Amino acid sequence: MNTSEYDVIVVGGGAAGLGVGVALRHAGIDNFIVVERQIIGASFALWPRETRFITPSFPTNSIGMLDLNSIAIGVSPAYSLEVEHPTGAEYALHLQAVAAFFEIPVQEETEVKRITKIGNDFVVDTNESTLRAKHVIWAGGEFQFPKTEGFEGIELCRHTATISSYQGLEGEDFIIVGGYESGVDAAYHLASRGKRVRLFDKGCPWKEETSDPSIALSTYSKERMREERFQQNVELFSDTLIKSVTKVDDLYEVTTQSGQLFQSPVAPLMAGGFDSSHKLVTDLFDRRDDGFPLLNEDDESTIVSGIYLCGPTVRHDNHVFCFIYKFRQRFAVVAKAIATSLGLTAEELEAYREWGMYLDDLSCCGEECATC
């Protein structure tokens, strides 16, 4: 295999990978590459056709604020797409346009098999070649890694991430496990087609009294839940833990921890979240008590210097960076740390501070944050 050498290799060509790639450009780093195992924005393109962003896009750059779904200064999916709540496919096109505009070097159809640190360099083995770099940024995302554990018989369920369109689902009676955003989204689209839906959640996110969007439902979801079709066709079961799912003859039986039994001829839909791709590099990171990678203040591994984490898996104390407008705040942190190690001043990154993308302050993503 051929071997190419870079200052930085970014793994993942989605919102996180491209966004931090733009930040690397602003930091004066040119010798880098973004590797993507499919195509730019592939995870977004795989969303169910009807699913849209819960965060609205609005071209607010003229007053000094970033569109909530922007990944770089000066770009807005609202402006380029002329849509307030883009679909995944539309957003994938936006990401492709951003990559082209900023001339981000992306190598598509490149799957990373293994990352090893040898001496001061990282060796990244892919399906095509071997790459070497002084630094690696893992920005692999989550959507293509749906959770497959949680209760007995979960393998009998169909994860919402595997659904191409709710219109194509056969059946009239659906059970959905998971009442956060993806669960409510699935229930909404099925109910809009006159289907009966029973929606179960271990908590009650539709009644959470908090401003933290990592816990409470978005306004967009709550608004749709008030529509007549949703009210007529969806039955909500809050504070209901699922114990098991079994199949008896032609029926799927869902049993709760309290002993209740529910049946449906259709395989239950699982909307319980994702495992994240960071599990592919767990040996390069220490773990927090909650299982997420332990990071230093620059989002770098605490046990292997030079590898950084970027995207919705980033955690600091109780701060959860699960949405684009949250994790993009960390792009400049990573880019500045790498630029400094390479002897660059990274002066252009100061612009990120003026646009609300903070280099050092984590307070904007706490549970008491008014903007979140």
Question: Per-residue pLDDT tens for 114-133?
Answer: 999 999 999 999 998 999 99
Specify if 355 maps to a domain.
yes
What pLDDT score was predicted for residue 357? 52
- Which amino acid is located at 123 in the chain? V
Please say which residue of 225, 251, 270 terminates a domain: 270
Residue 270 three-state SS: strand
pLDDT-derived band at 61 (thresholds 50, 70, 90) equals low
Based on the fold, state whether residues 330 and 245 are members of the same structural domain.
no
Domain enclosing residue 122, as ranges: 3-144+274-365
DSSP string, 218-263: PHHHHHHHTSHHHHHHEEEE-S--EEEEEEETTEEEEEETTS-EEE
Based on the fold, state whether residues 128 and 11 are members of the same structural domain.
yes
The structure tokens listed for 146 are: 């749906």
Residue of 167, 168, 185 lying closest to 176 (CA atoms): 185
Q: Which residues of 168-187 are buried (b: 16+ CB within 10 A; e: fewer)?
A: ebeeeebbbbbbbbbbbbbb
Specify if 370 maps to a domain.
no
Based on the fold, state whether residues 200 and 315 are members of the same structural domain.
no
What pLDDT score was predicted for residue 366? 41
pTM equals: 0.90
58-67, 217-226, 296-305, range with the lowest pLDDT: 58-67
Residue of 278, 279, 285 lying closest to 311 (CA atoms): 278
Residue 326 three-state SS: helix
Q: Which residue has the higher pLDDT, 154 or 146?
A: 154
Based on the fold, state whether residues 11 and 139 are members of the same structural domain.
yes
Tell me: the pLDDT tens digits for 29-46? 999 999 999 999 999 999
Based on the fold, state whether residues 199 and 238 are members of the same structural domain.
yes
Using the predicted structure, report yes or no on whether residue 352 has a pLDDT greater than 90: no
Q: How many domains does the chain have?
A: 2
Specify if 18 maps to a domain.
yes
Based on the fold, state whether residues 11 and 140 are members of the same structural domain.
yes
